[in-house]
Amino acid sequence: MKAGFIGVGNMGNPMAANMIKAGHQLTVHDLRRESATNLLEMGAAWADTPAGCVAGNDAVFTSLPVPRDVEAVALGENGIMSAANAGDVYVDLSTNSPTTIRRLHGEFAARGVTVLDAPVSGGVYGAAAGTLAVMVGGDRATFDSVKPMLDAIGAHVVYCGDIGAGMVTKICNNLLSMGIGVLMAEALTLGVKAGVSLDTLADVIANSSGGNRRLVEKFPRYLFSGNFEPGFATALAAKDVRLATDLGREYGIPMELSNLVDQRHVEALLRGWGPEDSDAVARLQEEKSGVQLRFDGMGGAGT
């Protein structure tokens, strides 16, 4: 199949690469052409504008940081809308506001263009491995038509319902992930401060009722090893948590605990940790407790 792909940064680049590896033909665009160097070497074509990614393709995809970026690419000068015609398909892989994507869906529908929301989860390593979870909302027949391309980037591609349902699902997932991260930092610093080694705590919790994927898969790659190079940046995590609390206010849902998680991420941003991996938020708890959550090799303890 043929596709346009706009936004080939930390997440978009490996997703686009996996599409090419699966045999799909891509036309790509990014604010920085050098971000697409490897994709062009793999055979992708370059477009100077988002509009240039539309014509002749079965679908155009966006993978962008925040909702305002999606709106600018979709509706701005030389954006997707300026080149789209009836029958075209636009798929947003970003984590966006459900309200925003539903509004974009309505504007594009007026021109006969179908919009799907398809946010992804699994981080940069999942994007590279092609093992992302992909949560899709919108027209079911259109989902079926583009699924071969989504299968190239994800191992778990799920149709979630009407337009916006993918975004809602992703926001709920990320709220839990970030909230679990905050709570685990508190629990682990407590355990270490009270005399149990971090490796023992991590092993037992991972195999008990408190076990979760963030502890087993993410903390070892980032927090426990002191690696804060972004797999999923703190700024993006903060954005997703705020999308969740905003959605709660929109629907009148009490979000007391979520608001605490939101404030913890705001504090991390104020520290200047936005570009670092989202595990950096745990450093706030480390500072307050006087405990550093690191393994010393394979058998070390928190210090």
pLDDT per residue over 192-215, tens digit each? 999 999 999 999 999 999 999 999
DSSP β-bridge partners for residue 154: 132
Clarify whether residues 145 and 261 are in a common domain: no
Examine residue 80 and state whether it is found in any structural domain, yes or no: yes
* pLDDT over 70, % of the chain: 97
| CATH number where 227 lies | 1.10.1040.10
Examine residue 23 and state whether it is found in any structural domain, yes or no: yes
CA distances from 103 to 71, 117, 162 (A): 10, 12, 13
Of 118, 137, 163, which one is at a domain's C-terminal end?
163
Clarify whether residues 43 and 153 are in a common domain: yes
What would you measure as the largest C-alpha separation in the chain, in angstroms? 65
Examine residue 147 and state whether it is found in any structural domain, yes or no: yes
Pick the catalytic residue: 170, 193, 239, 288? 170
Whole domain around residue 118: which residue ranges? Answer: 2-163
Examine residue 24 and state whether it is found in any structural domain, yes or no: yes
Q: Half-sphere exposure (CA, 13 Å, Cβ side) for 81?
A: 16
Task: Give residue 302's pLDDT band: very low, low, confident or very high (50, 70, 90).
Answer: very low
Residue-wise pLDDT for 39-76, tens only, equals: 999 999 999 999 999 999 999 999 999 999 999 999 99
Q: What is the pLDDT of residue 297?
A: 47
> Over 80: is that where the pLDDT of 300 sits?
no
Clarify whether residues 34 and 114 are in a common domain: yes
Read out DSSP for 37-101?
Answer: HHHHHTTPEE-SSGGGGTTT-SEEEE--SSHHHHHHHHHSTT-HHHH--TT-EEEE-S---HHHH
This prediction has a pTM of 0.92
Clarify whether residues 58 and 93 are in a common domain: yes
Q: Which two tokens stand for residue 43?
A: 């055979």
Clarify whether residues 155 and 178 are in a common domain: no
Examine residue 9 and state whether it is found in any structural domain, yes or no: yes
User: In the chain, how many domains are there?
Assistant: 2
Rounded Cα distance, 133 and 156, in Å: 5
Clarify whether residues 155 and 28 are in a common domain: yes
Rounded Cα distance, 147 and 144, in Å: 5
DSSP β-bridge partners for residue 62: 6, 92
> Over 50: is that where the pLDDT of 301 sits?
no
Clarify whether residues 203 and 97 are in a common domain: no
| Burial class (CB within 10 angstroms; exposed 0-12, middle 13-18, buried 19+) of 299 | exposed
Q: DSSP class of residue 216?
A: I
Rounded Cα distance, 221 and 10, in Å: 17
CA distances from 262 to 20, 56, 178, 249 (A): 37, 42, 9, 13
Of 147, 163, 179, which one is at a domain's C-terminal end?
163
Clarify whether residues 268 and 176 are in a common domain: yes
Examine residue 94 and state whether it is found in any structural domain, yes or no: yes
- Establish whether 170 is a catalytic residue: yes
Average pLDDT over residues 160-176: 97
Strand 120-121 to strand 132-137: parallel, antiparallel, or no bridges (unpaired)? antiparallel
Examine residue 296 and state whether it is found in any structural domain, yes or no: no
Clarify whether residues 142 and 208 are in a common domain: no
Rounded Cα distance, 189 and 158, in Å: 36
Instruction: Centre a 10 Å sphere on the Cβ of residue 141 and count the other Cβ atoms it contains.
Output: 8
Clarify whether residues 130 and 201 are in a common domain: no
Average pLDDT over residues 131-144: 98
CA-closest candidate to residue 121, choices 187, 178, 197 = 178
Of 141, 163, 185, which one is at a domain's C-terminal end?
163
Examine residue 156 and state whether it is found in any structural domain, yes or no: yes
- Nearest 5°: phi and psi at 58? -70, -25
Task: Give residue 296's pLDDT band: very low, low, confident or very high (50, 70, 90).
Answer: low
CA-closest candidate to residue 93, choices 64, 66, 122 = 64
| CATH number where 142 lies | 3.40.50.720
Three-state DSSP class for residue 136:
strand
Q: What is the pLDDT of residue 231?
A: 87
DSSP β-bridge partners for residue 135: 158
> Average pLDDT, whole number, for the chain?
95
Clarify whether residues 16 and 143 are in a common domain: yes
Clarify whether residues 111 and 235 are in a common domain: no
Length of the chain: 303
